[in-house]
Chain A
Amino acid sequence: MNQPTEKFDVIVVGAGPAGNAAAYTLAKAGKKVLQLERGEYPGSKNVQGAILYADALEKIIPDFRDSAPLERHVVEQRMWLMEEQSHLGTHFRSDQYNQQPGNRYTIIRARFDKWFSDQVQQAGALVLCEMTVTELLKDESGRVIGVNVDRENGRIYADAVILADGVNSLVASRAGLREDIKPAAVALGVKEIIFMPKETIDARFNLTGQEGAVIEMFGSISEGMVGTGFLYTNKDSISVGIGCMLSDMKQQQTTPVELLEKLKRHPSVAPLIAGGETREYAAHLLPEGGYDALPKLYGEGWMLVGDSAGFLNAVHREGSNLAMTTGRLAAETLLELFAAGQPASASNLARYQARLDESFVMKDLKKYRKIPGMLDRQRQFVADYPGLLNQAAFNFFSVDGRDKEAKEKEIIASFRQRRSLLGLLGDAFRVWRATR
């Protein structure tokens, strides 16, 4: 395909949820938008669990439920603390989640991204795939004025560039807009999609119609690393995966494939996926550094949105909604400036930061700002507690002729053996303070 030679109002790099939200919002408002995607089709490079949070998309495409490829709406959320042979957990299930409009859906990213991109194109943006942006073009003053793509005569110009190129964001780091990501601020997630008949999934998870269930897992499955596992029900497939911080992973000897296999073999998980057919194995990074790892978010002629800025809430497993929201806010900032005839200068783009600060994105990231550091320093949360709690439950529920008071004492003693009383109190305080 030939490169366009004319100048655009905005170039959006990347066609994930962040880029699509930005391109859609701008095109819908009549702006001349060029979106560049390196994959063969939007979604061909993208990986997610995946839970879609309706609210963020609703604010962009209010009637998305009519056409988006949604798998199931989530009616049940399980949290499991795992030990080698057991799990201790909570279930939250509510019929309220069956009421329209739905709140959370499972999706399959390659399908969803294609759909989202169709909406972007229908809104009037020019979307070109198989186009990798290799660098940003700057004028003498350092202002970003366009991009270079990996084609002959690949220079394309625009009044502003939105970088939605995902967690690795080579474009931004090579242009010196941000540092490359650090192992302590990023997790590697590996996942598999396993197909089986819809009826089998319905029966195993006690679901009917389009109802879905999700399980989040912590504990022995991450082998002492800060990490979580997940299992999500799609229509006729199950997504199962695990993610761990790279700063931990580089200091141990278990490969990501082994971690995933171990999770699948866990006696609580194995029966749920038994007999299914695996059709894909995927891996992707997640920026989990939180608030303190955020780089500068805008400058002369450019803005970072989504994973390329590190907008991800690891505690609540939210990423795509932050991506869509930040993409939309960046676009709205530009629309406001264009309407006033003002340039996308750094001082004007400070309004993007202001919009972010007012939104749930920054408020949530600030609230959990201490969590990444706490989990890194206080290993008992991942290494000790899940096991202790499982042993306690096993002890408590096993009927073996010993009296209950003796059992309670044993349980308390097992905790005190691993953590002093002060340590236990300190941990309770740490959780409280880190989530305030």
Chain B
Amino acid sequence: MIKVEEKLYQNRYRVDADRPHIRIRNPELCNEQCDTHACTVCCPAGCWSFEDGKIGLITDGCLECGTCRVICDKFANVDWNYPRAGFGILFKFG
């Protein structure tokens, strides 16, 4: 099974270290009330994880698609922004 990391490795990024552009509004909601954790399945870059009852988000490989914000419609728990101008994914081909 190919890992998403191997795919992201092909891409070019300018990572804005320690300034994640997406935040979880209330992690408790994810951990205790959300029963689907759909973000962990649908994110094309594997940025979201749910392990040991805890939601995790690392935005370094983010493709800036917006999926996590859109699918979290029940709880609207994703505070989604573009990275600072010039940072983030840099598609060579698109």
Question: Which residues on A are within 8 Å of B, measured CB to CB?
Answer: 38-40, 43-48, 50, 108-111, 113, 129-132, 149-150, 167-168, 170, 180-183, 186, 188, 190, 192-193, 237, 246, 249-258, 261, 278-285
Q: Size range of the interface on B? A: 35 or more
Residue from B44, B65, B69, B93 in contact with A110 in the complex, judged by beta carbons closer than 8 Å? B93
Using known A-B contacts A40-B86, A109-B93, determine if residue A246 contacts B2 with beta carbons closer than 8 Å. Answer: no
Q: Are B91 and A257 in contact (CB under 8 A)?
A: no
Beyond A47-B94, A108-B94, A257-B2, is A280–B44 a contact (Cβ under 8 Å)? no
How far apart are A131's CB and chain B's nearest CB, in angstroms? 6
Residues of B within 8 A of A48 (CB): 94
B73 at the interface (CB under 8 A from A): yes
Nearest-neighbour CB distance to chain B for A315, whole angstroms, equals: 22
Q: What is the bound-complex CA distance between A281 and B91, given in angstroms?
A: 9
- The contact sample of 24 A-B pairs, CB cut-off 8 A, is A40-B90, A45-B88, A46-B91, A46-B94, A108-B94, A110-B93, A168-B69, A170-B81, A249-B38, A249-B42, A250-B36, A253-B41, A255-B4, A255-B43, A256-B43, A278-B10, A279-B10, A279-B93, A280-B91, A280-B93, A281-B11, A282-B63, A283-B44, A285-B66
**A107, closest chain B residue (CB):** B94
Tell whether A183 pairs with B63 under 8 Å between CB atoms, given A40-B90, A279-B92. no
* B71 contacts A by Cβ under 8 Å: yes
Scoring A45, A249, A279, A285 by chain B CB atoms within 10 A of each residue's CB, the highest score goes to: A45
Using Cβ atoms and an 8 Å threshold, which residues of chain A touch B15? Answer: none
In B55-84, the 8 Å CB interface with A consists of: 63-67, 69-71, 73, 80-82, 84
**Docked-complex contact A183 and B10, CB < 8 angstroms:** no
Cβ-defined contact, B70 with A181, below 8 A: yes
**A283/B94 contact (C-beta < 8 A), A150-B85, A255-B4 known:** no
Are A257 and B7 in contact, with the CB atoms below 8 A?
A: yes
The reply to whether A38 and B85 contact each other, CB–CB distance below 8 Å, is yes
Contact partner of B84 (CB less than 8 A), chosen from A110, A150, A252, A255, is: A150
> Which residues in A have their C-beta under 8 angstroms from that of B88?
45
B89 lies within 8 A of chain A by Cβ = yes
Does B14 make an interface contact (CB < 8 A)?
Answer: yes
In the complex, what distance in Å separates the CA atom of A188 from the CA atom of B64?
A: 12
Residues A167 and B93 in contact in the complex (CB < 8 Å), given A182-B73, A246-B42: no
Partner of A256, one of B44, B70, B91: B44
Cβ–Cβ contact A280 & B11, under 8 A: yes
Say whether B45 faces chain A, with CB atoms less than 8 Å apart. yes
Q: Is the CB of B20 closer than 8 A to any CB of chain A?
A: no
Question: B66, A43: Cβ atoms under 8 Å?
Answer: no
Q: Is the CB of B85 within 8 A of A130?
A: yes
Are A43 and B4 neighbours in the complex by a CB distance under 8 Å? Answer: no
- Among A38, A149, A251, A282, the one with the most B-chain Cβ atoms within 10 Å of its Cβ is A282
- Chain B proximity of A279: nearest CB distance (Å): 6
Q: Is the CB of A255 within 8 A of B42?
A: yes
Is A38 touching B91 in the complex (CB atoms < 8 A)? no
Q: Is the CB of A246 within 8 A of B70?
A: yes
